[in-house]
Amino acid sequence: MSKKRIAVLAGDGIGKEVMPEGVRVVDAAARKFGIDLQFDTFDWSSWDYCEKHGQYMPDNWKDLVGGHDAIFFGAVGWPEKIADHTSLWQSLLLFRRDFDQYINLRPARLMPGIIAPVVRRDGTPRQPGEIDMYIVRENTEGEYSAVGGRMFNGTEREIVMQETIMSRHGVDRVLKFAFELAQKRAKKHLTCATKSNGIAITMPYWDERFAEMARKYPGIKTDKFHIDILTAHFVQRPDFFDVVVATNLFGDILSDLGPACTGTIGIAPSANMNPDRTFPSLFEPVHGSAPDIYGKNIANPIGQIWAGAMMLDFLGHKDAHDAILSTIEKVLDPKSGAPKTPDIGGKASTTDLGKAIAAAL
């Protein structure tokens, strides 16, 4: 089998702490399953690089990583030094857009040993597997268009505006992906996140395209909720959901809320995919750089590790993905006695948990 080249960009804050554990476990899986991987590490896409060079990434970033099979990404953002919207648009959002990573796939699953903060209606705790959903987030347009501007800055006449862009091509391809994913799942249930009562031009269009696409998938049970009540349903009956498809902004919000309902966003992974494989896809934890806990080595590395498993799956190694996932479940199970980070009730370090998963693999 040919060598697969992985571009590794740890980025900012806890990205620097969780990435070594992600690489450790992906490397261990590669050895176990005979996958020939080469990790190429880059120090850019970080505030450290920006401080020296005045920008988050070198001008030739596309040449440097465009030939890789995948990008393994940590976190971006150092708000003490640079506005988040500047750092994001100089790195992560450029990857998503310029590499046409139009699907952002984010699973949320209740794992063994983690107490979900959302209990059942009768007050009993939810059990592992009871929450098991995928959020499919549109990843290149929508509310993240960056089209707009300011006029009359600093005056009484100041105006600021920003457009939401939806293209038929962009909407249809993410809906199609979501229907295809639902088709493969046992429940065959797809929920559409909308807000067409208030956002009366783009969101009705999103709903129309959803209804049109649904006609091609008669075997899929569909429903549609406005984003406000949908967030309430996530908290009150997360077990109802299977696959949820959402615009860029709504998908971002739901994919923090979904994992939060499973106890911690520290374990949540994210695959920014270019399914056409014209460009490399990018795999990252859902969480950001978390400056408040950076430097303590207490961040949960599972989001990064699980993202690494999704990367291996995308590269054609489902066996390695499944092995990492079942090892994470085994290690999280209280019976394992394995170390846990503070977000899941333990006192262990990032490194200890990463090493425990690699060893159990």
Q: Is 25 in the site for ligand GGG (CB under 6 A)?
A: no
| 298 belongs to the binding site for ligand GGG (CB under 6 A) | no
Residue 115 has a CB neighbour count (10 Å cut-off) of: 13
**Of the residues 57, 76, 110, 230, which one makes contact with ligand GGG according to CB under 6 A:** 76
Tell me if 141 contacts ligand GGG by CB under 6 A: no
Give me the phi and psi of 114, to 5 degrees please: -110, 130
- Binding segment toward ligand GGG, per CB under 6 A, in 36-44, 155-163, 286-294, 343-351: 286-294
Q: What Cα–Cα distance (Å) separates residue 84 from each residue in 50, 56, 137, 141, 293?
A: 13, 12, 20, 19, 17
Tell me the three state secondary structure of residue 259.
Answer: helix
Structure tokens given for 358: 């690699």
CA nearest to 127, candidates 267, 347, 333: 333
Q: Read out DSSP for 147-159?
A: EEEEESTTSTT-E
Please report whether residue 288 would count as binding ligand GGG according to CB under 6 A: yes
Kindly determine how many residues on this chain lie close enough to bind ligand GGG according to the rule CB under 6 A: 11
Show the binding pattern over residues 223-252: x = contacts ligand GGG (CB under 6 A), - = does not: -----------------------------x
82-86 own/partner pairs: CB under 8 Å, 24+ apart? 82/47, 82/50
To the nearest whole angstrom, how small is the minimum distance from the Cβ of residue 104 to ligand GGG?
7
Residue carrying structure tokens 């990008």: 71
Quick one: 71 or 175, whose CB is closer to ligand GGG? 71
Closest contact distance (angstroms) between CB of 289 and ligand GGG is 6
Is the CB of residue 188 less than 8 Å from the CB of residue 219? Answer: yes
Alpha carbon distance 60, 85 (integer Å) = 21
Q: Quickly tell me which residue has 């395209």 as its tokens.
A: 209
Q: Could you tell me which of 65, 242, 247 has the C-alpha nearest to residue 139?
A: 247
CB closer to ligand GGG, 252 vs 352: 252
From the CB of 218, what's the least distance to ligand GGG, in Å?
33
Among 29, 50, 75, 174, binds ligand GGG (CB under 6 A): 75
State the nearest-atom distance from the C-beta of 358 to ligand GGG, in Å.
21
331 binds ligand GGG (CB under 6 A): no
Q: Is 301 in the site for ligand GGG (CB under 6 A)?
A: no
Does residue number 269 form part of the binding site for ligand GGG (CB under 6 A)?
no
> What sign does the CA torsion over 42, 45, 48, 49 have?
positive
Q: Does 284 bind ligand GGG (CB under 6 A)?
A: yes
Question: Distance between CA atoms of 165 and 144, rounded to whole angstroms?
Answer: 8
Task: Name which of 280 and 285 has its Cβ closer to ligand GGG.
Answer: 285
Q: Which of 77, 107, 258, 354 binds ligand GGG (CB under 6 A)?
A: 77
Name the one range near ligand GGG by CB under 6 A: 147-155, 160-168, 208-216, 280-288: 280-288
Place of tokens 């909720």: 225
Residues 84-113 binding ligand GGG (CB under 6 A) are 88, 92
Check residue 285 for interaction with ligand GGG (CB under 6 A): yes
Backbone angles phi, psi at 171, to 5 degrees: -70, -45
The contact set with ligand GGG (CB under 6 A) reads: 75-77, 88, 92, 252, 284-285, 287-289
